[in-house]
Amino acid sequence: MIGKPLWVYFIRIPVFVDKVETYGFIIDSIVNDFNLYKEKLEANNIDILVDVHVKHSKILSNYSLEESIKKAINWGANSVIITWRWTWDLPKQNEIIDIKSKINNVKIIIWSWVTKDNIESMVKYVDWFIVWTYFKTNKFPDDNVNIRDWRETIDLDKVKSVVMKKNNL
């Protein structure tokens, strides 16, 4: 018998703290509206995952990455997703080390170019990884550099390679 399933309820909010411009639209922080709805719904037992300095956007707020993370925590975030500027940007290990040394009361999630080749350098500094683009088949390489074609499927060998590498660390 496997046991009881583990249920985790969460909501992910891509623009929580920072005001951003993305694809020609300006999106402002929704923290006030979100907290009102959360209170009305009595949704106190859900994790709040928020992006800070969200990728594929121009940050219009004047907060540093650290300031955005601290604001997110103060405003109720349980986990912070750090993506850097574009999908293919490599994680900046020194930034993560610095953030983890100063901020330890929130889960840090990396969602950017995580692969079997660089996961080892990051695994001890972050709590979770979101890996998606790397797992795609890359059958349509002429498409946009930062977004994989919707027709691409997941390459099971890439998934296995990342999972095996992570499990061996």
Parallel, antiparallel, or unpaired for β 20-22 and 58-59?
A: antiparallel
The residues, ordered by sequence, that sit 6+ positions from 116 with a Cβ below 8 Å of its Cβ are 158, 161, 162, 164, 165
Lowest-confidence segment of 38-42, 115-119, 144-148 by average pLDDT: 144-148
pLDDT at 156: 92
pLDDT for 72-111, tens place per residue? Answer: 999 889 899 887 766 666 667 788 888 888 887 888 888 7
Give the span between the Cα atoms of 17 and 19, in whole angstroms: 7
Which homologous superfamily is 10-131 in?
FMN-linked oxidoreductases (3.20.20.390)
In terms of average pLDDT, the best of 33-42, 109-118, 121-130, 156-165 is: 156-165
Note the pTM of the prediction, 2 decimals: 0.78
pLDDT at 160: 93
pLDDT at 3: 65
At residue 95, φ and ψ (nearest 5 deg) are -65, -45
pLDDT at 70: 92
In 14-150, which ranges are E strands? 20-22, 25-27, 47-52, 58-59, 79-82, 107-110, 128-129
